[in-house]
Amino acid sequence: MRCYVFPGQGTQKKGMGRSLFTRFPDLRRRADRVLGYPIEELCLENPERRLSETVYAQPAIYVVNALHWAAAQEDLPAADFFAGHSLGEYSALYAAGAFDFATGLALVRSRAELMSRISGGAMAAIVGVCEQIVEETLERHGANGVVIANHNAPEQFVLAGSREELARLRPVFEKTEGVRGFVPVRVSGPFHAPAMAPAAERFRSVLASVDVGRLRTPVVSNVTGRPFGPDAREVRDLLAEQIARPVRWSDSIRYLRDAGVSDFTELGESKVLTSLIDRITTAREAAPDPRRDLIERIRREILQPEIGDEALGFDEDASFRQLGLNSIIYVRLARRAGKVFDVAVKPDVIFQHRSCAALADYLLTRDDVARTAVPQAPPAAPDAPPAPLGEYRDERVAALLHDCANGTLSVDRTVEAIRALA
């Protein structure tokens, strides 16, 4: 299965879309009418460095993402899913048919204006440690109002809060074992944090007047890490909430992988998301979780054949009763579980363990199931020859250079992080 992903703010750069504006002049003309200024000039010449400002950057990225989507429709196969990181979610919804190009651009323009009004905050990326260490460090040092705003990868998170608090926490994180970088993000406010709640509420009133069409292709929400439902009100609510809620990119990619997506294609002016997806996938393959894998097998191989795709997003702790299953279905679930795991499973077992998590816990206690329930990870490949970056003795510097090479960090941010280490 295939998923197209769209990047968000931070990927803007002078010259973006150069090869596409002449190819799709109608999109350029429509963008100019909505925005009231020449979008091609903004993207190609970046007058007065406006692309560094939120009010210009967000519309520009949306337009360039749309150009890439227009090219993809001519050059690439159809997608089974769409996803977008933060602002990129609007590109994904446009591609899926939630609204037309002009409506999406008008929404993005309003969103950018409202978000830019919340000042006094900042954001910074933490690279190299897991979420638990980030949270424990924030708690241990009494971080006031600083939260994780972006869950980008298993060892990459973005914090949002006041400039003063982030400045106070910077030396704390830089001395934390495992941290490879504390990199300030050049944005105008604490996006995806509670401080953005006033902007989210004002944007909610903007969204109320927008017609949202039925999605032709599923789009995964940043807020939930699951596909948007068919209800237009839910789409509007989640778009409003997204401004002040964390971006759960790791959860989104894990969901897509569990749904069967193996081919991710980034449409836009960067490969940042491609790198993050590789990290999420590699981390999951390197550290398998038998219980998690078993829960996903129960969803895919036992529930989905009986109730359809609803099973893929069904909460692991929710009772099967919520699905309205009758006794015959329980019998069929037991038979299917027995066939999948090659053991005898009685209907009573399903009645007693009526959630994916409870059933997984039960199965893992049975020796005859535990040996076969979770596929064993393939043997590790032989060590590759040392890369040129391996000559650096400081592992933190080498890791930052790797992040720069694969597009996760820009050159400027990499240099800033290395200077901080020095």
Residues with catalytic function: 86, 192
As a whole number of angstroms, the distance between CA 280 and CA 349 comes to 34
Is the separation of the CB atoms in 396 and 417 below 8 Å? no
Provide the 10 A C-beta neighbour count for residue 80. 16
Largest CA distance in the chain: 71
* Under 8 Å between Cβ of 160 and 185: no
- Residues whose CB falls within 8 Å of the CB of residue 59, separated by 6 or more in sequence, listed in order: 31, 35, 39, 105, 108, 109, 112
Tokens matching residue 214:
């039925």
- Describe the crossing of helices 163-174 and 411-421 by its angle, rounded to 10 degrees: 60
> Token pair of 398, please?
């080498």
Give the strand order in the sheet containing 2-6: 219-220, 81-84, 2-6, 263-266
State how far the alpha carbon of 188 is from the alpha carbons of 80, 110, 120, 133, 195, in Å. 35, 16, 8, 27, 13
Spatial contact of 142 and 156, defined as CB atoms under 8 Å apart: no
